Structure formats: C-alpha cells, structure tokens
C-alpha cells in the first residue's frame, strides 16, 4: 500500500467518524427524544463500563474459565460496596486497590 493511499484511508476514516458523531449530535439537538428513551440513555455509560471491566475481573489473564482463587473478585465486591455507600470515585479506587493488594499479599 502506498503512502498516498494510506493517508487517503486515514482521511476517509477520520471524516467518516466525524460525520457519524456529528450526525448524532445534530439529530439529538433537533429531534425530540421520548422521555423513556432519554431516561434509559443515562445508564449507557455505566453499563458499557461494567461490560468492559467485568470480564477482566472474572477471568484474569484472559483465561476462559472461572478461577476461585482470583483476588480480583472480592476486591471488586468491596470496591462496589464502597462506591454504593460513599459515591466517591477516589475513595472507591483507593479502597479497591488496597483490597486487591491486600488479597494478593495474603495469597487469597
């Protein structure tokens, strides 16, 4: 692939991405979104984050089977409880990492 065609592909992909994102911004500003859909869209970021994080917590190191000696699961449960009780991101991260390091140190 020549340099010119490679740069053309980068430009086309960039313009395509920009147009797709702009279309949603423009349509969202002009169309009236139903209340039910608007309320449901609030939960999209949290569900995407959970979908990204959960497999790495449950299946460490990319293995395909559940491991009972996985220290990430109890640490994630503790972090989720702290997040639920305090609603503090910094405290959740600190307590979750401390719990993970503690469980790894104890070789749980």
- Cα–Cα distance measured from residue 77 to residue 98, given in angstroms and rounded to the nearest whole number: 13
What DSSP string runs through 29-95?
Answer: HHS---HHHHHHHTTHHHHHHHHHHHHHHHSGGG-SS--TT-THHHHHHHHHHHHHHH--HHHHHHH
Kindly state whether residues 14 and 46 are assigned to the same domain.
no
Kindly state whether residues 26 and 52 are assigned to the same domain.
no
* Residue 37, in any domain of the structure: no
Residue 78 has pLDDT above 60, yes or no: yes
Kindly state whether residues 78 and 98 are assigned to the same domain.
yes
State the pLDDT confidence band at 7, using cuts at 50, 70 and 90.
Answer: very high
Residue 81 has pLDDT above 70, yes or no: yes
Residue 9 structural domain: 1-31
Kindly state whether residues 107 and 76 are assigned to the same domain.
yes
What is the tally of structural domains in the chain?
2
What pLDDT is stored for residue 88 in this prediction? 94
The answer to whether the pTM exceeds 0.85 is no
Kindly state whether residues 47 and 69 are assigned to the same domain.
yes
Kindly state whether residues 3 and 46 are assigned to the same domain.
no
Condensed to tens digits (0 to 9), the pLDDT of residues 26-49 reads: 777 777 878 998 899 899 998 998
* Residue 89, in any domain of the structure: yes
Kindly state whether residues 23 and 67 are assigned to the same domain.
no
The token pair at 17 is 């991405």
* Residue 36, in any domain of the structure: no
Kindly state whether residues 106 and 54 are assigned to the same domain.
yes
- Cα–Cα distance measured from residue 102 to residue 105, given in angstroms and rounded to the nearest whole number: 5
Kindly state whether residues 55 and 78 are assigned to the same domain.
yes
Kindly state whether residues 11 and 48 are assigned to the same domain.
no
């Amino acid at each position: 692939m020549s340099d010119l065609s490679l740069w053309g592909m980068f430009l086309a992909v960039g313009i395509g991405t920009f147009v797709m994102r702009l279309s949603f911004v423009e349509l969202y500003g002009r169309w009236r979104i139903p209340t039910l859909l608007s309320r449901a869209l609030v939960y999209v970021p949290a569900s995407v984050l959970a979908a990204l994080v959960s497999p790495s917590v449950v299946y460490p190191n990319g293995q395909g089977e559940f491991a009972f000696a996985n220290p990430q699961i109890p640490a994630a449960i503790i972090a989720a409880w702290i997040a639920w009780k305090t609603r503090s991101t910094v405290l959740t991260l600190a307590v979750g990492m401390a719990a993970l390091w503690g469980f790894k140190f104890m070789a749980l």
